Every structure is written in C-alpha cells, then in structure tokens.
Amino acid sequence: MRCTHCGAIIPDDQMICPECGAEVQIVPDYNPLDDVLAREVKGSVEGATRQLHTEDIRRQRRPQQPRNINSTRVMSQGEMDRLRDARRAAARKSSAQSGNSYGSRTSGRRNTGSVRSGDSVKNQSVSHSTGNDRGNTASRRETGRVRQNTEVLRRSREERRRQQEMRLAAAKRKRRNLLTVIFVVLAMIAAGIYLIYQNSYTGMLQKGYKALQENNYTSAENYFNRAVVKDRSRPDAYTGLSEVYMAQNDQDGAEAVFLSAIETQPSNAQLYQAAIDFYMDTEQYSSISVLLADCNDNSVLSAVSDYVSDAPEFSMDPGTYDEVIQVALTSDTGGTIYYTTDGSDPTTSSTEYTEPILLNTEAETEIRAIAVNENEIPSVVSSAKYTISFPIADAPVVNPATGQYTEPTQITITVPDGYTAYYTTDGSTPSADSSSAQKYTGPIDMPQNDQIIFSAVLVNDDNGKETAVTTRNYITTND
C-alpha cells in the first residue's frame, strides 16, 4: 500500500507511514453498509469520550508535527476487529494512567495550601472542560471523516457501477451492430448463392423437372436444353429430355436423345450408362447389346461390363461342305446360348444350346444364335450359313458290255464303299424306293434265249444320293 500523502510504501503490518508519519485510515471490506457505518460511528464515539492526556495536548501544539493526512487501505473484517480491540485496550490503559497522574498532582497541591488548592481545582476544572471540548471536536471530525470516506466509497462504487453499465451497454451495442452486419452479409451471400444456384446446371434441372410435373413440356425441354449447354458431359439433362419425350409417348425421340449425345461423345461412359438405364426402363434389353456392339472404347466397355454380352462364335466357318459336319457355339462372356436353324431370330424361348449342332442333310442351313449373360442381357444375333453337298459318284460299272451272247454269262456291278447298288431287267429306272428294283448282292446270271435291258444305279449310304444309271442291252441265244 502507498501513502496518499508522500507516496511511500507502507508495510501491511503498520498503521503509520514510516516517512511522513501520516496515520492510515482503515476502510472495511464491502460488508453491508449499515453495519460498517454503525461500527465506525461507535468506535468514533468511544474515542471521542476518552480523557485527554497532556501528551496529546502537546502533540497538538507542536508546530513541527505534520498534519495527519488520512491514508486508506481496505482490510478484512477480522483485521478490523482485531485493530479495534487493540485500540480499546490502549484507551483503557491510557485512561488508567491518566487517573493515577491526576491523583498525584491533586495530592501535591493539597500540601501547598488551601489557596493554591482552590486555584488548582479551578484550573483543573477549566482544563477538564477544555479537554472535553477538544475531545468532542475530535470526535466530530472523526465522524465527519468516516462519513466523508463512506460517501466517497459510495460515490466510487456508484461510479464504477455506472461505468460498468456503460461498458455493458457499449458492448451490447457493439455486439448488436456486429450481429446486424453479419446478418446482412449472410443475407447477401445467401441471395448470391440462390441466384447462382437458380442459373446453375442443378438449378436448370430442378426447374425442368418442376415444369415436367406440371405437364409444361415446352418449358421443361427448354430448361433441360439449357442445362445441356452448361455441361454437355453430364447425363442428367439428357435423361430429363428423354423423360419429356416419353411423357409425350415418343419413345423413338427419347432414344435419339442418348444416341445423338453418344455420337458426339463416344468415350463418355456416363452417357452410355444413362442410355442403358433408359433401355432397361423400357425393357429394350436387346438394344443394349446393339449399343455396345458399336463401342470401341475399352474404358467405356469396362465401366459397363455388367451389361456386356458377347455374341456367340461358330466353330466352323460358313460355307459349303461335302460331308456331314458338327457346329459348336461359344461366348466369351458366358451365359446361356439359344439358337435357331430355320433363319428366324432366336429368343430365350428358342432351342437352348447344349451340344454341337449336327448337319447331315444335303441342304443349305442358317444357324442364328444369341448369348444371354448373368444380368439377363441378350447379345446381338450372330449367324452363319452352311451348305452340305455330297459328292456324286460316277455311274456304276456293269460287266459285261452290251452285246449278244451264246454262252451262259454272269452280270456284275462294281460297288464302291459307302454305296449300295440297285438294278432292274425290264428297262425301268432303278432306285432305292422303286418296287421293281432289286438290291445287288452279287453276280447275276444272264437269262438264256432272251433279250433284256439291264439298268443299275448306286445309292450313297449316308445321304441317299443316287448316281447316274448304267444301262446294258443283252441278247442270248443257244447257237
């Protein structure tokens, strides 16, 4: 604590400034004000009614004694109570000493004589009266100082409270102004974001679908086209356009939206996926494979690999064969293969491929097949034509040659492997189905004294194809 008179540091355990001797004026903590005032007034009254001592009077009369400038220090309630008790004990001790001194002086004066005794008594009375007046004055001054200090404390406290209220009010105004500025800025930002959003790709989509829900197809198409202009690579606007056409029962127009976009962006996997979704929604599963068959971008095919279904491949090249053949079918993507041999397009209701297809009839056959992958996506149709034309053997060799014979002779037919020979002797054309033809099993005796026309033919055992007919004319006689 600093002395308010000279500015010197006053230790906490001292009540008098060590430099100028000014007494420290104790100000209690902020307890209820009434209790503080009551205690201070009570102490002041007690101090005012104490008996004055000669030393006190001398101290007041010393011109070199510095004026008692009050210094204040806030003390706790316990410290203040201990100090007041100490003051009271000192006052009682001083009062007892003053009484003893007064008795000694009175006794001495009695011994000097009655006149002086009377004067002493008179002077003592005057002195006592003067001391009481001075004590009362000091008490009033002390009370005045207490009241003054109390008023100063009250005003100081009110001033601090007023300043605190002003600071709080200023802080509230500042906070309110800051909040207002923040609100305005946020409102401007929100308005800007809203305007940007309304004119953005997403905003155009939202407006397009809203118009579509209201059956305003012209506005919806306009909004979706504006979205396409903003970003041609994203598929959402194309999907919206296709929905506008579908809402008007124009499926071809809806399909053309995707095909046109893919034609200009053949490497955009998202557009392919959007087109596939369209075909799936409209149950045009075979169109998916048609779409992907024209794609040459491996990255796109990899992105939509779940929908790729490779068409079947044939183990035999198309063409003409002179023998029986078997044709096997395979697909790189696996799945189930279905085929037809009558030239019609296969479906999942056609013959399921389980083993190679046998072609053993001399004819032209077209095999058409599809492969259906695990996601039930059919491939495009693959086809191949096969012609079976068995070779025709030369006409059979018949011995002997045409002529007249006088001796018994046998007729033979040369039959190559894989063939069966048939013959007639009445001039009719032999065949495997003719009732007049006989199957050749070995040499035949030429009839005697007769004339016959012998005809023979070979029939292919595999395909039933017949060779040309060999005819012989025999005349036999006995000469």
Task: Return left, alpha or beta for 143; rule: phi > 0 is left, psi -120 to 50 is alpha, else beta.
Answer: alpha
In a domain, residue 341? The reply is yes
- pLDDT by 10-residue block (mean), the chain, 479 residues: 77 75 61 58 52 54 50 62 77 63 47 43 47 62 75 83 88 89 84 70 93 94 94 94 95 95 94 95 93 92 93 94 91 93 94 94 92 93 92 87 90 92 93 90 90 92 86 85
Helix (H) or strand (E) holding 387: strand 382-388
In a domain, residue 406? The reply is yes
Whole-angstrom distance, CA of residue 120 vs CA of residue 464: 184
In a domain, residue 469? The reply is yes
- What is the model's pLDDT at position 399? 93
- What is the model's pLDDT at position 270? 95
Domain termination residue (choose one: 366, 388, 410): 388
Asked if residue 214 and residue 289 are part of one domain, the reply reads yes
Please give the tally of structural domains in the chain. Answer: 4
- Range 10-17 contact pairs with CB under 8 angstroms and sequence separation of 24 or more: 10/71, 10/73, 15/83, 17/71
Asked if residue 280 and residue 324 are part of one domain, the reply reads no
In a domain, residue 183? The reply is no
Burial zone of 216 (CB within 10 Å; 0-12 exposed, 13-18 middle, 19+ buried):
middle
Helices (H) and strands (E) in the chain, counts: 11, 19
In a domain, residue 243? The reply is yes
- What is the model's pLDDT at position 236? 95
In a domain, residue 179? The reply is no
DSSP state string for 244-300? HHHHTT-HHHHHHHHHHHHHH-TT-HHHHHHHHHHHHHTT-HHHHHHHHHT---HHH
Asked if residue 415 and residue 374 are part of one domain, the reply reads no
Looking only at the bridges linking them, the beta strands covering 410-414 and 444-445 are antiparallel
Asked if residue 135 and residue 44 are part of one domain, the reply reads yes
Domain termination residue (choose one: 338, 369, 388): 388
What CATH number did the domain enclosing 333 receive?
A: 2.60.40.10
In a domain, residue 182? The reply is no
Asked if residue 324 and residue 276 are part of one domain, the reply reads no
Q: Tokens 């004067």 identify what position?
A: 119
- What is the model's pLDDT at position 59? 58
Domain termination residue (choose one: 257, 292, 307): 307
Asked if residue 135 and residue 85 are part of one domain, the reply reads yes
Q: Tokens 């037919």 identify what position?
A: 413
In a domain, residue 333? The reply is yes
- What is the model's pLDDT at position 1? 66
Asked if residue 426 and residue 337 are part of one domain, the reply reads no
Domain span including residue 343:
313-388
Asked if residue 259 and residue 279 are part of one domain, the reply reads yes
Asked if residue 354 and residue 252 are part of one domain, the reply reads no
Asked if residue 338 and residue 252 are part of one domain, the reply reads no
Asked if residue 445 and residue 371 are part of one domain, the reply reads no
Asked if residue 152 and residue 80 are part of one domain, the reply reads yes
